[in-house]
Amino acid sequence: MRWEDREESTNVEDRRSSGGGGGGRGLPSMGMMMMLWPLIKPLLRSKFGLMVLGVGALAYFSGFNPLSLVGMGGGASSSHLSKDEETKEAKFIKTVLKDTEDVWSSILPKYGLKYTKPTLVLYRGSTHSGCGHASAQMGPFYCPADKKVYLDLGFFDELARRHNAPGDFAQAYVLAHEIGHHVQDLQGTLDQVQRMKQRVRSETQANHLQVRVELQADCYAGVWAHYAQKRFHILEPGDIEEALNAASKIGDDKLQKEATGYVRPDGFTHGSSRQRMAWFKQGFVKGDLRACDTFK
């Protein structure tokens, strides 16, 4: 991806010098609980399972990440980045953020919306967000309560090493996906889906709604890439393939298989690898938000 010597966003809150977790953690966020529910639910049915949960909770609040035992941990604590590499990583992600600001500020008015720029929070290990406690183990996320994207740069190291999805445009796709959630927030989609979730009768139905939200954010990431290429000529050979590979490697089916050895579609919250790849590609090819209606 062509990004060096270009303008960086100033809408960044850098907490890396004050973050890092330490002993103990706050309560897990609702997003984290939704991700873990397919693993937790079977354990509630037996005394042994309850004992496992109790030990895991004790470990979590003591500062140890029990998810690392099933391949879902990582983050800054497992980062192999040197100080210089992390500095370059931060410059890169700030440049991508600026690109998202320019693109969405330009195209959203065509759809009757004004783009307000979110803040990117860079942190290490753990921090606090408007949506609750944030930790590296959760991965990047968007918080609609404070209009901020939270990112531990160690996630990109994990994405490359653990999930075999390296590349700068894979990282750009991850940020663009989170910014896609901000666009959904501006559209009112996140509020609408939350109300719909409150009316459904089962967890499976709520998960299906969340999958549609996530796939639309993937599509919006593709729309961003479409216009960023037109405006800034950012793409190099292999970049789109990097994004598609990353989408494939963090599909629910692949992550569930790696964590538990089997796949439970009713527990999907982000979509399968195939779905995530298809919707990113749809947005990139069409370059139109109307082509991203995952709720049909």
Mean pLDDT (whole number) for 106-113:
97
- List pLDDT tens digits, range 181-233: 999 999 999 999 999 999 999 999 999 999 999 999 999 999 999 999 999 99
List, in order, residues 6 or more apart from 69 with CB less than 8 Å away.
none
- List pLDDT tens digits, range 57-96: 665 554 444 444 433 343 444 456 788 889 999 999 999 9
**275/32 Cα distance (integer angstroms):** 21
Evaluated on CA atoms 220, 223, 228, 233, the torsion sign reads positive
Percent of the chain with pLDDT over 90: 75
The SS3 assignment for 141 reads strand
pLDDT of residue 43: 65
Tell me: pLDDT of 112 over 70. yes
The SS3 assignment for 266 reads helix
Amino acid at residue number 209: L
Look at 57 and 36; give whichever has higher pLDDT: 57
Residue 143: enclosing H or E segment and its boundaries? strand 141-143
- HSE-CB for 279 with a 13 A CA cutoff: 29
